[in-house]
Amino acid sequence: MSIGMLGEKIGMTQIFNDKGTVIPVTLLKIGPCTITQIKREKTNKYAKIQIGYKYINPSKLNKANIGHFQQNKLPCFKYLKEYKSNNWININLGQTISVNKFKIGDHINVSGISIGKGFSGYQKKHNFTRGPMSHGSKNHRQPGSIGAGTTPGRVFPRKKMAGRMGYKNVSIRNLEIIKINYRENIIVIKGSVPGKSGNIIYIYQK
């Protein structure tokens, strides 16, 4: 893994290519990020790179985080992310990473928290079929049996039932970069990105 950065999702829109085809795109404001820590492994095959995003007032952090930044003589950041990298020889502590590392046509992977949809039934959450809707049926949207009786006498873990839907870490791979605004640190990628507008996302390129 060579490049990893933090950013925000601006929103979605659509653009037209030269042939007039509509392309759904997502706008992302990425970085600039600062390298706040480098942990080199004994094997020297890779290193753990920690990056910081968005400056924050030190009064809003605890003493442990403030000491972490002061030790490396760096400003305080609101968001931190650590990832592994094989290309760590040319990386220095305090170095700033921006979208200049990317170019149009590159493919990136995007991770983020999906939109939370609250408590949902088993049909909406797991796409189960309903019961018969004819007169006399009492099983329209009921989940039905969830396990055997005496043996095993319990419900097995990971049983698909009603529960909280969404708000999970979702990753989408190989999203193509359509446009890049180097001045505003904005990239336009083809397709959708998990989460709502304003969510913190993590992009990385292998």
pTM given for the model: 0.82
Could you read off the pLDDT of 132-175 as tens digits, one per residue?
999 999 889 988 888 888 888 899 999 999 999 999 999 999 99
Mean pLDDT of 91-98: 89
At 90, is the pLDDT very low, low, confident or very high (cuts 50, 70, 90)?
Answer: confident
Q: Is 73 left (phi over 0), alpha (psi -120 to 50) or beta?
A: left
pLDDT at 92 over 80: yes
Mean pLDDT of 23-52: 89
Share of the chain above pLDDT 70, in %: 99
Query: 12: which strand partners?
Result: 26
Mean pLDDT of 25-53: 89
Higher per-residue pLDDT: 206 or 69: 69
Could you read off the pLDDT of 173-205 as tens digits, one per residue?
999 999 999 999 999 999 999 999 999 999 998
Higher per-residue pLDDT: 149 or 11: 11
Mean pLDDT of 91-111: 91
pLDDT at 1 over 60: no
Specify whether the CB–CB gap between 46 and 83 falls below 8 A. no
Per-residue confidence (pLDDT) for residue 53, from 0 to 100: 95
181 to 10, 70, 143: CA distances (angstroms): 13, 33, 50
Higher per-residue pLDDT: 68 or 91: 68
At 13, is the pLDDT very low, low, confident or very high (cuts 50, 70, 90)?
Answer: very high
Per-residue confidence (pLDDT) for residue 58, from 0 to 100: 92
Per-residue confidence (pLDDT) for residue 30, from 0 to 100: 94
Domains contained in the chain, CATH given:
3-116+170-205 (2.40.30.10), 117-165 (no CATH)
What's the CA dihedral at 116, 122, 126, 127 to 10 degrees? Answer: -110
